[in-house]
Structure 1
């Protein structure tokens, strides 16, 4: 487990090598003064040397903060306007192409997906693009087998056709592939490429349920329409026909629209027969990409003894907002994030704003969960995002417990037993930097009985594995809004 101090020292050494000219100029200034050189030569060399030397620790701190996912008090949001509800999930993805005139917006179901290639240059270093918010270099090329509905049944029947093609998927939109519902444009018969399918990635995030969607009716009533795919698709068609409807975070306010457009939205709302779509369409295993994408493998996590003995512990946070930037690393994009942290002592939750590199394998399952595991320092002044534990909890990697008698007990993805297991190991100072918890090992003897009791208790409570709940349950008729721009 890396520490912030180790990362800072490493960056300080690198910055010292890169900025060696600063100390050299200080030495030159000293020699010039001893030799009686003109005062302006001494002063000039001293100023250049002092500035260059002062930049060394500044550059080291800045690079360490960018590289190491550490959250401090300075990252706490003073006031979040507008307020975000606990179930809000806002993902600001790159815009999709508009398509040709007459193209029809329809639903496509992902029957299978496979990673074709992803190999950008740059490695672990940060790559920033000027003006290009959606570089192709940092997109995974994915082979998709789609069932494109003909536009008449919107997914209610069997009408449609199968399409197989390779597409480049923005990192923030990978979960739409795993969920299995996409919004696509189909070129009309008179177009140069009749029948061509173009995926609309931001709209696909809405259709997949990764991004929440709420509608404020003309009378002020708030309705959650997340994963009501047929209604959302019709709303997208209305938005496309009028040139785009601004979506403030996760909210469409009909009171801000012109009367004709608002009436069309209200008419769609009268369809009350639709059932909420599942979190993921059947056959998810045929389109899971998380195992093939870069990012840390899930693990129960390392536990430094000193950290554990002094009161270090874990807490959960939840992403409320993810906004793309023009900076990328090999294993994920650098995002401006808003997290809601829930302290372990039961004190009120608080929000933090932090720029983080979010692994692509985690983004591929974002429709299932937005929880993030934080390691809290014993003094409580800082937390560190623990991606190994986060990915195990999110279901990127499947966990397994080996009982003392050698029997293997697989834990389902996103099992509710994972979180208490992680906390149990931390409380006893037991490290397990893999996804397999082998209770036969001597160091596990002290926790073996407690681990087995915890797993049995989870099975008894639900007559099966205790699973993390639906990340988008039907909320009460109330909602916070999130500031920003976008179109459904």
Structure 2
């Protein structure tokens, strides 16, 4: 584990214990279970810490010949403590590698914090780069985007940073061509470090940038994106405003009003968002009055919501250029399927940045709302997860996640392959028995039905292409075709 400077960010506590160590995930005949992962980690750590059992044996042998509390007892005690501690890092590493949710992950208490509408999403992202105090806050549209560089050297290990700086090796460098909507529109091209939590703002195509003051004719102007505000303007983060009379207004993707609110907030030195809500009753009277004036104008002439994604998304799509889990209809463990294992959908309510990373994505403190398969009311779970970067690029479109449920209904495992396909990171496609291709782009409900049918029939398809011409698919081809209609 390396330790280098990075922003210190608070996270949602995830205090859960390992329970129910039996789950199955077969892919091409290979059984991968929580127990298997734990045993593998235990053996690896036991080999790395083999000195502790050695000292235990040496101390025991010497103590039997030289009884008392001399050096043999000290060696024995040291070896015993080291041997007993071996399972602890095995449990910790298994919990990191295997994204399982159990009863102990459920959010305790009836906190109003989680009583939001289903479309709520709250994000705590790293601080943005500072800019001149004289800079003007304006909108910029992303015309083109491409990955310039992302080459971390941590491989698949977990790397934790400390300090006050963003780790460049885990922050992709993106080349952007922007059209800036200042007093006079102009275009600028450059490379910027983009926090992975805010990548969806690029795909959506709307950024908030700070532009330096009026420039001399022909002089180059400095453009600095503000990434957390960009995620808000893109609609990834939801936003509501409670006025002085206690009425709540939906402001998500109301671009003009949000920009005005951001300018007021900047002039006031910052406005606190509680979750996804700004409560004017808690602001300074002058700031609240300016916000209220915006609300009055909006009620008189309501602003339409901006599109989920601006036109030209294909020129700024980064999902194919960034690492992540390979999207697929998913593998099915035969034993899991026979015993009644099912798939369910969850939805992210909250993501909070941390200082730990893997090469394919950041480790985030998350809150998910899960709908159990038995029809009981949904529940919220707090879990620390490594979220793939390619999934983060489409977070403005969907926050859904696919989970596999153990046959006894006790534990839920995040299935990133199915999640990425459902989110549209990779376009799903069906090849019919007669060879026709049926694209399923922007048809998540159809993809979801197909995933469930494959799971119920015990059919694995570790690919985004479902080929019904294959022999193993023939028995279920008819019902799968009906689902595509």
Structure 2 length-normalised TM:
0.90
Q: Aligned residue for 1:486?
A: none
Q: CA deviation at 1:97?
A: 2.9
2:113–2:275 contact (8 Å) kept in structure 1: no
For residues 324-343 of structure 1, what are the structure 2 equivalents within 5 Å?
A: 324-343=353-372
* SS of match in other structure, 2:114: coil
Counterparts of 1:215 and 1:352, CA distance in 2: 26
Q: Aligned residue for 2:93?
A: 63
Q: Aligned residue for 2:144?
A: 112
Label 1:279 to 1:429 Cα distance change in 2 as closer, same or farther (>3 A).
same
Q: CA deviation at 1:242?
A: 0.8
Label 1:132 to 1:123 Cα distance change in 2 as closer, same or farther (>3 A).
farther
* SS of match in other structure, 2:391: helix
Please identify, of 53-62 and 333-342, the stretch whose mean Cα deviation from structure 2 is larger: 53-62
1:82 equivalent to 2:116? Answer no
After the TM superposition, which parts of structure 1 deviate over 3 Å for at least 4 consecutive aligned residues?
none
> 1:165-194: CA deviations, max 9, x gaps?
111110000000000000000011469x96
* SS of match in other structure, 1:413: coil
Q: Aligned residue for 2:481?
A: 452
> 1:417-461: CA deviations, max 9, x gaps?
0001000000000010001111111110111000111111xxxxx
1:94–1:133 contact (8 Å) kept in structure 2: no
> 1:387-417: CA deviations, max 9, x gaps?
0000000000111101011111111134320
Q: Aligned residue for 2:156?
A: 124
Counterparts of 1:51 and 1:325, CA distance in 2: 31
Q: Aligned residue for 1:196?
A: 222
2:121–2:237 contact (8 Å) kept in structure 1: yes
* SS of match in other structure, 2:290: helix
Once superposed, what is the RMSD of the aligned Cα atoms? 1.4
Q: Aligned residue for 1:291?
A: 320
Q: CA deviation at 1:96?
A: 1.3
Counterparts of 2:288 and 2:247, CA distance in 1: 14
> 1:136-195: CA deviations, max 9, x gaps?
1111111101000015xxxxxxx511111111110000000000000000011469x962
Structure 1 length-normalised TM:
0.90
Q: CA deviation at 1:37?
A: 5.0
Label 1:453 to 1:420 Cα distance change in 2 as closer, same or farther (>3 A).
same
* SS of match in other structure, 2:445: coil
Q: CA deviation at 1:101?
A: 2.3
Give 1:224's match in structure 2, choosing from 228, 250, 273: 250
Counterparts of 1:302 and 1:150, CA distance in 2: 50
* SS of match in other structure, 1:10: helix
Q: CA deviation at 1:380?
A: 1.2
> Structure 1: which 5+ runs fail to align?
152-158, 457-488
> Structure 2: which 5+ runs fail to align?
1-24, 26-31
1:386 equivalent to 2:415? Answer yes
> 1:93-133: CA deviations, max 9, x gaps?
01113311211000000011011111011110011001246
Counterparts of 1:351 and 1:40, CA distance in 2: 54
Give 1:161's match in structure 2, choosing from 177, 182, 186: 186
For residues 166-185 of structure 1, what are the structure 2 equivalents within 5 Å?
A: 166-185=191-210
* SS of match in other structure, 1:39: coil
Q: Aligned residue for 1:425?
A: 454
Please identify, of 170-179 and 375-384, the stretch whose mean Cα deviation from structure 2 is larger: 375-384
Q: CA deviation at 1:39?
A: 2.5
Count of equivalent residues: 448
Counterparts of 1:235 and 1:322, CA distance in 2: 23
Give 2:179's match in structure 1, choosing from 140, 147, 152: 147
For residues 45-64 of structure 1, what are the structure 2 equivalents within 5 Å?
A: 45-64=75-94
1:187–1:194 contact (8 Å) kept in structure 2: no
> 1:257-279: CA deviations, max 9, x gaps?
11111110111122333210010
Counterparts of 1:247 and 1:273, CA distance in 2: 23
Counterparts of 2:42 and 2:378, CA distance in 1: 34
2:343–2:403 contact (8 Å) kept in structure 1: yes
Q: Aligned residue for 1:479?
A: none
Counterparts of 2:164 and 2:92, CA distance in 1: 24
1:135 equivalent to 2:164? Answer no
